[in-house]
């Protein structure tokens, strides 16, 4: 279980991004949404350890991880996927899967992981992690690395960012499958209704604090119906 207690975050210039965020997250699949600038990505990076909160405390399975680094949190079982996956010059897809799992992966294991995210292993296993891969391909390879790690908490920061409609449709299927098969918990930061619709619960951030945290079936219809920035965020269309 992840617990955030009075979490606050201010920039070096003193701008307040998050204030008094209190959450207990233990559901299988939780989505975090809200207007632009509400603090969604900042909150995700605080959970992962990329940013340190300026106020409050973070507990993971009862252990205080507030001052732990991203590496220390990774060892405890927290994984983070960036909006724009990192490309590693000189590494192949099979190399990153082995690194993620903490040991050498054989061809069959790599093939199984890639097939889980809808990629043909024959076409990708020896590909370089460079600019020859599209944004959608990199997103799915990054998800495969999280599957290889088999961690307890998997955090995705706006996975739909920067990909085309075809890739987005495939990404939805990958998350649906991941939700069915993973043994861990998933937190996704997203604006997209189709991603939010997979979640068990939705956290709605507004002005840097938790406005609502409810079951998807309770909160999503009301957010879509509101004539506000929330409605605009949730109904943005992706284009080819």
Residue 228: the pLDDT is 54
First to last CA, the chain: 39
- pLDDT, average across residues 144-163: 86
Mean pLDDT of the chain: 86
Question: Does position 189 have pLDDT exceeding 90, yes or no?
Answer: yes
pLDDT over 90, % of the chain:
45
Residue 234: the pLDDT is 42
Q: How far apart are CA 135 and CA 64, in angstroms?
A: 35
Q: How far apart are CA 77 and CA 106, in angstroms?
A: 23
Residue 194: the pLDDT is 87
- pLDDT, average across residues 52-76: 95
Residue 223: the pLDDT is 84
CA dihedral 190, 193, 198, 202 (to 10 degrees): 60
Q: How far apart are CA 87 and CA 172, in angstroms?
A: 22
Q: How far apart are CA 101 and CA 80, in angstroms?
A: 14
The phi-psi region of residue 154 (left if phi > 0; otherwise alpha if psi is between -120 and 50; otherwise beta) is: beta
Question: Does position 166 have pLDDT exceeding 90, yes or no?
Answer: no
Question: Does position 130 have pLDDT exceeding 70, yes or no?
Answer: yes
């Amino acid at each position: 279980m992840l617990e955030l207690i009075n979490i606050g975050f201010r920039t070096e210039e003193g701008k307040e991004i998050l204030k008094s965020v209190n959450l207990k997250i233990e559901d299988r699949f939780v989505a975090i949404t809200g207007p632009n600038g509400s603090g969604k990505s900042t909150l995700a990076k605080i959970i992962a350890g990329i940013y340190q909160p300026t106020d409050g405390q973070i507990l993971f399975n009862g252990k205080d991880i507030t001052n732990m680094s991203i590496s220390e949190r990774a060892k405890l079982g927290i994984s983070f996927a960036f909006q724009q996956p990192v490309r590693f010059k000189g590494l192949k897809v099979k190399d990153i899967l082995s690194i993620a799992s903490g040991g050498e992966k054989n061809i069959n294991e790599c093939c199984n992981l890639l097939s889980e995210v809808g990629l043909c292993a024959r076409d990708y296993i020896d590909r370089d992690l460079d600019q020859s891969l599209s944004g959608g391909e990199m997103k799915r390879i990054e998800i495969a690395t999280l599957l290889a790690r088999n961690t307890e908490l998997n955090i995705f920061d706006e996975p739909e960012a920067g990909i085309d409609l075809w890739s987005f449709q495939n990404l939805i299927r990958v998350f649906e499958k991941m939700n069915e098969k993973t043994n861990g918990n998933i937190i996704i930061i997203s604006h997209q209704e189709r991603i939010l619709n997979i979640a068990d619960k939705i956290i709605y951030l507004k002005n840097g604090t938790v406005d609502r945290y409810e079951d998807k079936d309770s909160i999503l219809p009301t957010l879509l119906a509101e004539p506000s920035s929330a409605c605009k965020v949730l109904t943005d269309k992706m284009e080819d």
